[in-house]
Structure 1
């Protein structure tokens, strides 16, 4: 039996950086697609400041620390010096399997991982584990949502947020994306976070490329990313219930097979 290739010769935007794009691109190729790697989001640690330094020094006074992404884990531990900080490490909660894997690579294990990798599910399942007045440290990026901190605070926890990295769109990505959209060289756009949507739409607005988007199919991960796309008036053709790249690609394949 001949294997069908639903993505045959279709170009698929892979919005991740070099270190994260490989497995994503391999999935696209498995279905016959052509991955186009254009990082729509990049991260850089903030300059170490007094607030961050104080949080690290007081680490043993927190009951929990929450990591929401592998980037948060990697950036936090780039600042963390066990010999300098000392003391006990708080209990650890994470959102997502990839985040847990990044943490384990640092020699730590999470005590809590939610059943679904979104902030709303995390809060509902994590809240019962918190004593009233529990102290929680939440390292985050400069564009991260405030939902977790706000909701846990409303439920009696004392949450300290500390920004440890900033999010940006690389200049080379801006130029490449503009060229490929203008030349109608992208068949399928995929988005892994609301920031990737914002960054692409900033390029679309800057170069007047709204009309070119009408030729693209769109897939995304998670309800917040989907909402961001719809806020821009864009259709969403694939948005799986399981918030992983693999399921997003499977969902897009299912959409294409149904259409055909």
Structure 2
């Protein structure tokens, strides 16, 4: 049984932006921790270009539209604002939050996988998608190509279109470097491979590898875990259910085990 405040006074890195960080930080606080909000990812829509314009105008010719994150949903619908009459194809989503944001837009997902990773998504979607089906995948500039490649190999016609850029704001880089250098963090949490890459860019730039040695690390998903291991970091908490809630619980379980 967990102690009432298992994260008591521990400073936990919350790597999400202001809009997404609130529930994450509240969870940390509920268990007695001190959330340190430093968004490791920021997003900005790309300038509307001919490629994007062509995909939006041909939206009714696609059989499937795939959203891999809530950011892709938000950004995609922002581009649709001036085209309210667009006919949407069937929609497949990865992630509980992605599905929720889609519902907030008044749209129901036609397919949601049992687990929220690309590999499981493809395995469960393939039997549903007919060979020759047209699929559109809006994505960020750093997104993996696994889904598009797998569907293409299975005979689908896949178009990928970059709709937003991922970056780490300068002020966040400086704040993160200072916090690590002054050993102001106890627990690091990572929600995607991109958060790991941006974090390690700062670590390498400022020569802070040594300051990471005693930190506890939790993450969401096997791809994020793999990325951490590639950097030579030890992952202490990586739950089977890929949610922030389970990551925090898994981190607490590790702490309890260490104490006992």
TM superposition score normalised by structure 1? 0.97
Alignment of 1:83-232 (within 5 A): 84=83, 86-232=85-231
Q: Partner residue of 2:75?
A: 75
- CA 87–7 in structure 1, closer or farther in 2 if over 3 Å, else same: closer
Residue 96 of structure 1 and its aligned partner are, at CA, apart by 1.1
Unaligned runs of 5+ in 2: none
Report how many residues are paired.
259
The alignment yields a C-alpha RMSD, in angstroms, of 1.3
SS at match of 2:228: helix
Offset of 1:90 from its aligned partner?
A: 0.3
Measure, in 2, the Cα distance between the counterparts of 1:227 and 1:52. 32
Name 1:17's counterpart in structure 2.
17
CA distance in 2: counterparts of 1:21 and 1:94, whole angstroms: 22
TM superposition shift of 1:104: 0.9
Q: Distance in 2 between matches of 1:3 and 1:89?
A: 48
**CA offsets, 1:152-197, max 9 Å, x none?**
0001101000000000001111010000000000000000000000
Deviations 1:50-81 (CA, angstroms, capped at 9, x unpaired): 00000000000000000011000000001013
1:255 lines up with 2:233 in the alignment:
no
Gaps of 5+ in 1: none
**Does the 8 Å contact 1:59/1:88 carry over to 2?**
yes
Q: In the aligned structure 2, how far is the partner of 1:177 from the partner of 1:81? A: 36
CA distance in 2, matches of 1:131, 1:226: 33
Q: Is the 8 A contact 2:80 2:86 kept in 1?
A: no
In 2: Cα distance, 1:30 partner to 1:203 partner: 29
Cα offset, 1:109, TM superposition? 0.6
1:10 shift after superposition: 0.4
Secondary structure in 1 matching 2:211: helix
Deviation at 1:97, TM superposition (A): 1.2
Distance (whole Å) between structure 1 residues aligned to residue 65 and residue 168 of structure 2: 28
Contact 1:57 1:85 in 2 (8 A): no
Deviates more, 1:86-95 or 1:149-158: 86-95
Query: For the residues of structure 1 that align with 2:10 and 2:33, how far apart are their CA atoms?
Result: 5
C-alpha distance in 2, partners of 1:9/1:119? 36
TM-score when normalising by structure 2: 0.97
